[in-house]
Amino acid sequence: MKNIIGRLVVLLVVIQVLSSCHSGKSDKNANSRDAFSISFVEGFVVKPVVLNQSISVAGSIRAAEETVLTPDVAGRVVMINLPEGQFVKQGTLLVKLFDADMQASLKKLQTQLEIEEQTKKRQGELLKVSGISQLEYDQTTLQVNSIKDDIEVLKAQISKTEVRAPFDGVIGLRNISVGAQVTPALGLATIRQVNQLKLDFSIPEKYSADVTDGKKVHFQVEGLDSVFEARIMASEGGIEENTRNLKVRAIITSHSPVLKPGAFAKVELPLEVNPTALMIPTQAVIPAERDKKVIVSKNHKADFVTVVTGVRQASMIEIVDGLSPGDTIVTTGLLFLKPKAGIKFSKIQ
């Protein structure tokens, strides 16, 4: 009996020792978890700032006026006055086609007109003394007018053999030589009015209300750091169905020899000014599958808050919904924090 009681006592002692050891380990694990949950991270205090919103879109520089010179009729080139890269005045004769046959016909008609006008003059004198009838005089008058009409028609045909500058501009590279047979489908050269340039670009339809005549836009061209300025002059009357974009045209007010028609331009269109925008560092936003989150410090604990973002800049991003002024968010160590984890800030901006 005494042996049984002794064994029971020993067993109770062993159980108590094991329980004490297990309890000590649990306390150490708990302390370890608590220590791990406290992270030294950097923070950022959310506060309202003035946000000058803008969007960047692609654009193209165009000449104020530009057209491809083409003849009105087919024919052989007998004269060329296309000074490549040079300025020409409006109305300057640039290309002349063969028209010797029409010039001969014109000369013949002019001779006939002189004869008929002399005849009409003599008949007018005779009509005064009743030397001829009114009918004869009217027929001669009709003949004179008919010849004049034929001359005008022939002059119009001759003018089609001439290609003149439609406006003041600079001639591009010519595509023909003297003696070439040309047709109305052949482009002879291009003329551009380069003393005034335009800027064409398209913006998403949601920003169409921000486009007003006279509004300033800024742009840059490839390979240059300079910023140029333009003023919106007009926009398309409707939205393109395929792209849902609005076409906009501006007049470039910055004159520079480096700006060439056809060049690519990166256009910056200013939008409305938001005086109370909430801007936070972009690295503070955690992208998720369906939304975006930010870690907010609440009672020194990590609280994962869903946010709605707006305008993005180089290093900052606008928060439209989810944060309030005065919130302190975590900007570093985001991957090591879990919900409700303890937070200690080493630096707060």
pLDDT digits (tens, 9 = 90+) for 43-75: 999 999 988 878 889 999 999 999 999 999 999
- Count of other CB atoms within 10 angstroms of residue 279: 21
User: Could you tell me the sign of the dihedral formed by the alpha carbons of 126, 127, 132, 138, in that order?
Assistant: positive
Amino acid at 86: Q
Which domain, by its residues, includes 120? 99-160
pLDDT on residue 206: 83
**Last residue within a domain, chosen from 219, 244, 273:** 273
pLDDT on residue 111: 95
**Last residue within a domain, chosen from 273, 289, 306:** 273
Residue 124 domain-assigned? yes
Q: Are residues 269 and 202 in the same domain?
A: yes
Q: Are residues 199 and 246 in the same domain?
A: yes
Q: Higher pLDDT residue, 272 or 297?
A: 297
**For residue 144, what is the domain's CATH number?**
1.10.287
Q: Are residues 195 and 269 in the same domain?
A: yes
Q: Are residues 244 and 281 in the same domain?
A: no
Prediction pTM value: 0.63
Residue 300 domain-assigned? yes
Given a contact cutoff of 8 angstroms between Cβ atoms, the answer to whether 174 and 88 are in contact is: no
pLDDT confidence bin for 4, thresholds 50/70/90? low
Residue 223 domain-assigned? yes
Residue 280 domain-assigned? yes
What is the token pair recorded at 106?
A: 């014109």
CA-CA distance, 349 to 343, in Å (whole number)? 16
pLDDT digits (tens, 9 = 90+) for 193-238: 988 899 999 998 888 888 889 999 999 998 888 999 999 999 998 8
Q: State yes or no: pLDDT of 84 exceeds 90.
A: yes
Residues in the chain: 349
Q: Are residues 248 and 280 in the same domain?
A: no
Q: State yes or no: pLDDT of 106 exceeds 60.
A: yes
Q: Are residues 291 and 305 in the same domain?
A: yes
Q: 186: which DSSP letter?
A: S
Q: Are residues 91 and 171 in the same domain?
A: yes
Q: Are residues 91 and 168 in the same domain?
A: yes
**Last residue within a domain, chosen from 213, 241, 273:** 273
Residue 90 domain-assigned? yes
**For residue 253, what is the domain's CATH number?**
2.40.30.170
Q: How many domains does one find in the chain?
A: 4
Q: Are residues 128 and 221 in the same domain?
A: no
Q: Are residues 78 and 170 in the same domain?
A: yes
Cα torsion 258, 259, 261, 267 to 10°: value is 140
For the segment 163-189, the average pLDDT, to the nearest whole number, is 94
pLDDT confidence bin for 38, thresholds 50/70/90? low
**Which of 2-16, 17-31, 164-178, 202-216 shows the lowest per-residue confidence on average (mean pLDDT)?**
17-31
Q: Strand, coil or helix: what is 300?
A: coil
Q: Are residues 79 and 169 in the same domain?
A: yes
pLDDT on residue 13: 44
Residue 24 domain-assigned? no
Given a contact cutoff of 8 angstroms between Cβ atoms, the answer to whether 166 and 188 are in contact is: no
Q: Are residues 103 and 79 in the same domain?
A: no
**For residue 294, what is the domain's CATH number?**
2.40.420.20
Which helix (H) or strand (E) covers residue 90, if one does?
none
Amino acid at 285: V
pLDDT digits (tens, 9 = 90+) for 301-317: 999 999 998 878 778 89
pLDDT on residue 275: 87
Given a contact cutoff of 8 angstroms between Cβ atoms, the answer to whether 89 and 168 are in contact is: yes
Residue 221 domain-assigned? yes
What is the CA angle 35-36-38, rounded to 5?
A: 70
pLDDT confidence bin for 1, thresholds 50/70/90? very low
pLDDT on residue 33: 46
CA-CA distance, 24 to 48, in Å (whole number)? 50
pLDDT digits (tens, 9 = 90+) for 277-296: 899 999 999 998 889 999 99
Residue 16 domain-assigned? no
